[in-house]
A and B are shown apart, each in its own frame.
Chain A
Amino acid sequence: MELKMFLLVLGLLVGISSPGRAANHGKPPDTYDHELQNQGNYTRATPSKKPFPVLSFNFEHVKVPFEISLWVLLASLMKLGFHLIPRLSSIVPESCLLIVVGLLVGGLMKVVSEVPPVLDSNVFFLYLLPPIILDAGYFLPIRQFTENLGTILMFAVVGTLWNAFFVGGLLYGVCQLEGHKLVNVDLLSCLLFGSIISAVDPVAVLAVFEEIHINELLHILVFGESLLNDAVTVVLYHLFEEYSTVGTITVMDVFLGVVCFLVVSLGGIVVGAIYGILAAFTSRFTSHTRVIEPLFVFVYSYMAYLSAEVFHLSGIMALIACGAVMRPYVEANISHKSHTTIKYFLKMWSSVSDTLIFIFLGVSTVAGPHEWNWTFVVATVIFCLVARVLGVVGLTFVINKFRIVKLTPKDQFIIAYGGLRGAIAFSLVYLLSTEHFPKRNMFLTAIITVIFFTVFVQGMTIRPLVDLLAVKKKQETKRSINEEIHTQFLDHLLTGIEDICGHYGHHHWKDKLNRFNKKYVKKCLIAGERSREPQLIAFYHKMEMKQAIELVESGGGAKLPSALPSTVSMQNIQPKKPPQDRALPQLSKAREQEIRKILRTNLQRTRQRLRSYNRHTLIADPYEDGWNEILIKRKKMMELEKKISQMNNYLTVPAPPPDSPTIARARLASDPQAWGLKSVTESIPTIKVDLASPQSPESVNVVNEFGKKGSQPKGSQLKASEEEEGGLTMKIPSPPKQRKDKTADEDNDKEPQQRLMRCLSDPGPAAEEEDEDEPFLP
C-alpha cells in the first residue's frame, strides 16, 4: 500500500519535472503566490491595455533552485523507497540501486530528448564531497585510527603508488601492443589514468561497508586508506597532468613530486588542525548563544576544506584533521542539544550527498560522451583487480613484520576486495580537457566501467562473502565502565614498563601527548570547570546520562526521575531488564488533582514553619529541625524504596535487603536516625509513610508522586545548571554531613525550600523533558 502511494508520488514528480524544464507548459500551483508580487518585471504586458493578469507563469526565475530541490527530493524519495521494498535492501547495497535509478532517470530524460545533467566536477568537489568527508572525519574513531596508522599509511601511500604505476604501465604496454587505435596513447597519459583509477574511494567504501557491519579493524583499515590516499592522488594527478603536455618527466620532477607529496599531506593536516583549534576556541564562548553552535562546526570545517583547496593541498585531509582535532574540545563545550544537532545534520547532509552522487553517476553514464574500446576497458578492469590483490598481499607481508596483531589472509582478502572505486575518480577524469587528452572519452568510459564493476559486483557480493568467510563482525557493545577503568590502568602500566625498559615507545609518546593536552590545551579550549574534568569522569557522566535517559524511556508512561547522578548508580543492577509490567500505574486525573491538593495544603503548613527558622539562632527549634531532617530523609527513603520496588518488583519495603550490598551500603541503611524519627511523623498532618507495612499501589503512587515531585525539580535544577555551566557538577550534599549536622546548614535548608517552591509551581511532570530519540551517544 505504502509502496503504491510512493510510486504514484514519484511518477507525479517526474511528470512535473520534465515539462517544468521545458517551461511554458502546465502550471505548478505553488508558484502562483510568488508571481503575483512580481508583476512589474515581466514582459507579458503588450502596449495595448490588457486585463490585469491575475495569474501568470514564470519559471526561469526559480529554475535553478527548483531543479536542485527537485533532485534532492528525488534522491531522498529514492532512499525512502528502497527501504519500503522488503527484501531488496538486504541483497543489493543502496549504492547500486541508486546508480540504477540514475540510469533510469537519465534514460527517461534522453527519451524526452532533454539533455541530462552531467555530474559537474565543481559541484561535486565543492558541494557534494565535503559533507561526507566531514561526517567521516568528525566521527572518526581516533583510537583505532592511531593504533593502525602505520598500516593505513602503508596501504594508502605505497599501495596507491604501486597500483598507479602497475596499471598505468601495463596499460601502456597493452596500448602499444594493440596497435591502430591506441598507439597514440602515450605513457604519461596512461600513468595519469592509472593514478586516477587506483585511488580507493571513500564514498563508495563508506556506502558499502556501512551496511555489512564488519569488524572495526578492517573497517578502519580500508576506510582510513581511502581517506589518506587523497594526498597521493592529488600529487600524482597534478604531476602527470602538468607534464603530459611536455611529454617527459625528469628525475628532478620526481623529486619535486615527492616533496610536493609531503607538502600536500602535511600542509593539509596543518590547515585542518588550525581551523579545528579555532573552532574549539570559538566554542568556548558560545555558552550564551547555544543556537548557533553547530554552525561554527560546519563553517570552520568547510573553510578548512576550501582553504586547503586554494593551495592545492589535500582538502580531504584538511577536513579530517579539522574534525578530529576539534571534536573532543567542542564536545566538552557545547550543549547536549547542539551535539545532537551536529550529529544529525552531518548524517543528513552526508546521506543526501551520497545519494545524489550515485544518482548523478548513473545519469552521467547515460549522458556522457563515450568511446568504447573493448581491449582498453577490459584490460583496465583486469589490471585494477590484479594490482589491488598483489598490492595488498605484498604490503601485508611487509607490514605483518611490524604489527603486534597480524593480518590474516581473510583480512587481506576483505581489504583487497573492499577497494572500491567511485565518483572521485570519475570527476577527476571529467576535469581533463579533451585537447590535451584526445582519449579522454575512452578514459571516461573505462572508469565508468570500473566503477560499475566494483560497486555492483564487489559491492553486492561482499556481504555474502563476509558471511561465508565468517569474518568477525562489529560488536554492538557499549563500553562498560570496567573496560574504561582497566584500559586506562593498563595504559599507565604499559607506560611505566616502557619507562623501566628505557624504551620510548607508543605508550610513552601517547602519555606525553595526554599530559600536554591536559596541562595546556584543555585549559585554553574548554570553558569553565570541564577543562579539569578527567576523561574517566566525563565517560562516567555520559554513561549515567545515557542510562538515565534509557530509564525514562523504558519506564513508559510514568516518568521516573532519573537525573540524580549519584543515585542512578544504584539502579543499574539489571540495566537490560525489559520495562516491567508492574510499572507504576497511571493515576487518573481526578485522583492526581486530589493528591496535589493534599500536598499543597500540607506543604503550605510546612513552609510556614520553615519560614520561622532563622539561621542565626543557635538554638533552633528542635521540632522544626527535626522536620527538615525528616523531610529530607523521607524523600531519600521514598526514592530508595521506589528504586527497590522497581528492581525487585514488589511493593513491600522491609529493612534494606541484606543481599544487595550496594543498598546496604546506601546512606540510609547505616543511618539509625532515619528510623528513629519515624515516631515524630505521626503527629504531623501529612501523608504517612509506614515503611514496614505492605503498601497498596495507590499509596505507593502517592509516595512516588511526592518523591517524584521532590526529586524531579532537583533533576531539572541540575539540568539547568548543566546548561549554564556547560558541565555536570555534582551538587548533592553528601549524606554523612547531613546526618551529622544537627544545625541544618543553609544549603540543606534552602534546597528543600526550593524544592517545595518548585513543587507548588510545577503543574506536573516537567513538560520540558528533553525529547531524545535515542540515548546520548558519544
Chain B
Amino acid sequence: MGSTNSTLLKIPNVEVLMQETGFSPAHIIRLHDRFKALDKEGRGYLCPQDFGAIKELAMNPIGDRIIGAFFSPGKETVDFHTFVKILAHFRPVDKDRPKEPNSLEPINSRSNKLKFAFQLYDQDKDGKISRDELLKVLRAMLGMQVTEEQLESIADRTIQEADLDRDDAISFEEFRKSLEKVNIDHKMSIRFLR
C-alpha cells in the first residue's frame, strides 16, 4: 500500500477527484498509469495526437468524435482531472448510494450518460441533433457501403420517429425518450471502471 499512497499523493487534488467521480483509489491509480502510458512525452497533459496513437481508436468510425469529447471547446490539452472526469461517465451506476438531498447528480447517472452521448452527436452544441449531424454520424458508421439516398431516407425516418415537436431535429428530451427502452445503465457502463 505504500507505493499506492505515494502515487496518490503525487496527483494534485486527488481527494476532490475521488469525491466527484466516485472512483476508488485503486481505480484512480490504474487510470493514472494509463494516462502516463498515453502521455509518452511525460508532459502531464494529453493532446489529440496522443489519443490518435491508439490504433484501435483509429479504426473506430466515431473515434475522432470520442477524442474530441475529451477536449473542452477551445482547449488543446487534457489534464488528468478532465480525463478521469470524462471516464467517470462510464462507471456502472451504484444503486446503493445514499441520496443526499442537496448533492449534485453523480457523473455516472443515467441522465448524464445520455447527455454525454448526445454531445457526441451534437457537434455544434446547439442542443439539437439536426438532420445534417445525423447524416454525418450515419455516414461515419456506414461508410462507403451505402448510397447517399439510403442514408438520407434513414435519416429522415429516424427524425420522423423521434421528433415529437416537429422541429426537424432531435432535442435531448426526444433523444432520451427514444432510448427509454434501452437499459442505458447496462449499455453505457464499463465493468472495469466499477
- List residues of chain A with CB under 8 Å of any chain B CB: 147, 402, 404-406, 475, 477, 480-483, 485-490, 492-503, 505-508, 515, 532-534, 536-537, 540, 565-566, 569-570, 572-573, 659, 661-662, 665, 730, 732, 734
Decide if B62 touches A482 in the complex (CB within 8 Å): no
Instruction: Name the residue in A480, A489, A508 with the highest tally of chain B Cβ atoms < 10 Å from its Cβ.
Output: A489
Flag if A486 contacts B66 (CB, 8 Å): no
Q: Knowing that A481-B157, A500-B34 are A-B contacts, what are 13 other residue pairs whose CB atoms are under 8 Å apart, sorted by A's residue number?
A: A147-B186, A405-B185, A475-B181, A481-B154, A483-B178, A487-B182, A489-B121, A492-B141, A493-B117, A494-B90, A508-B56, A533-B145, A734-B149
- What 8 pairs between A and B have smallest CB-CB spacing? A482-B178, A496-B66, A499-B56, A503-B192, A661-B168, A569-B157, A496-B60, A569-B153
Q: Mark B136-171, 1 if CB is under 8 A from A, else 0.
A: 011001110111111001101110111000101000
Report which residue of A481, A506, A533 has the largest number of chain B beta carbons within 10 angstroms of its beta carbon: A481
The interface residues of chain B lying within 8 Å CB-to-CB of A534 are 141-143, 145-146
Q: Kindly state whether residue B107 has any CB partner on chain A within 8 Å.
A: no
Binding site for A on B (CB under 8 A): 31, 34, 37-38, 51, 54, 56-57, 59-63, 66, 87, 90, 92, 95, 117, 120-121, 137-138, 141-143, 145-150, 153-154, 156-158, 160-162, 166, 168, 175, 178-179, 181-183, 185-193
Are the C-beta atoms of A496 and B62 separated by less than 8 Å? yes
- Contact with A732, one of B57, B149, B154, B187 (Cβ below 8 angstroms): B149
Q: Determine if A566 and B193 form an interchain contact, defined as CB atoms under 8 angstroms apart.
A: no
A565-B60 in contact (CB<8A): no
When C-beta atoms are compared, the residue in chain B nearest to A506 turns out to be B191
B66 touches A483 (CB 8 A): no
A537 touches B142 (CB 8 A): yes
For A661, list chain B residues within 8 Å (CB).
166, 168
In the complex, the answer to whether A492 meets B61 with C-beta atoms within 8 Å is yes
Residue pair A493, B145 in contact (C-beta under 8 Å): no
**Chain A neighbourhood of B147, CB < 8 A:** 730
Chain B residues closer than 8 Å to A486, beta-carbon distance: 117, 175, 178-179, 182
Given known A-B contacts A496-B57, A502-B34, A540 and B154 have beta carbons under 8 A apart:
yes
Check if A404 sits within 8 Å of B189, measured CB to CB.
yes
Q: Name the B residues within 8 Å of A537 (CB-CB).
A: 142, 145-146, 150, 154
Q: How many contacts A-B (CB < 8 Å)?
A: 148
CB contact between B162 and one of A482, A501, A573 (< 8 Å): that residue: A482
In-complex Cβ contact of B31 among A475, A498, A501 (8 A): A501
Residues on B with C-beta less than 8 A from A501 are: 31, 34, 87, 190, 192-193
The residue among A147, A492, A540 with the most chain B CB atoms within 10 A of its own CB is: A492
Closest B residue to A488 by CB, please name it.
B141
CA distance A481 to B161 in the complex (A): 8
B residues less than 8 Å from A495 (CB atoms): 56, 60
Provide the bound-state CA to CA distance between A732 and B63, in Å: 33
Q: Which chain B residue lies CB-closest to A477?
A: B181
Query: Which chain B residue has the least Cβ–Cβ distance from A660?
Result: B166
Residues of A close to B192: CB separation below 8 A = 498, 501, 503, 505
| A-chain residues with CB within 8 Å of residue B121 when the two chains form the complex | 489
* Bound form: Cα–Cα A497–B137 in Å: 17
Contact of A536 among B90, B141, B148 (CB under 8 A): B141
Provided the pairs A405-B183, A480-B178, A487-B187 are in contact, do residues A566 and B168 lie with their beta carbons within 8 angstroms? no
A492 to B193, CA, bound (A): 18
Residues of B within 8 A of A566 (CB): 149-150, 153
Inter-chain CA distance A507–B190, complex, in Å, is: 9
| A665→B160 contact, CB < 8 A | no
Taking CB atoms, residues of chain B closer than 8 Å to A406 are: 95
Are B188's CB and A404's CB within 8 A?
A: no
* Cβ contacts under 8 Å, A490 to chain B: 117, 187-188
> Once the chains bind, are A489 and B54 in contact (CB under 8 Å)?
no
Q: Which residues of A contact B34 (CB under 8 A)?
A: 500-502
- Complex Cα gap A486–B177 (Å): 12
Give the nearest-CB partner of B61 in chain A.
A492
A734 to B151, CA, bound (A): 13
Contacts of B154 in A (CB 8 A): 481, 485, 536-537, 540
CB contacts (< 8 Å) of B189 on chain A: these are 404
With contacts A489-B117, A505-B192 known, is A572 near B157, CB below 8 A? yes
Asked if B191 and A500 make an inter-chain contact with CB atoms under 8 angstroms apart, the answer reads no
State A534–B92 Cα separation when bound (angstroms): 30
Q: Which residue of B lies closest to A547 (CB)?
A: B157
A493→B181 CA distance, assembly (Å)? 19
- CB-CB under 8 A from B37, the residues of chain A are 502
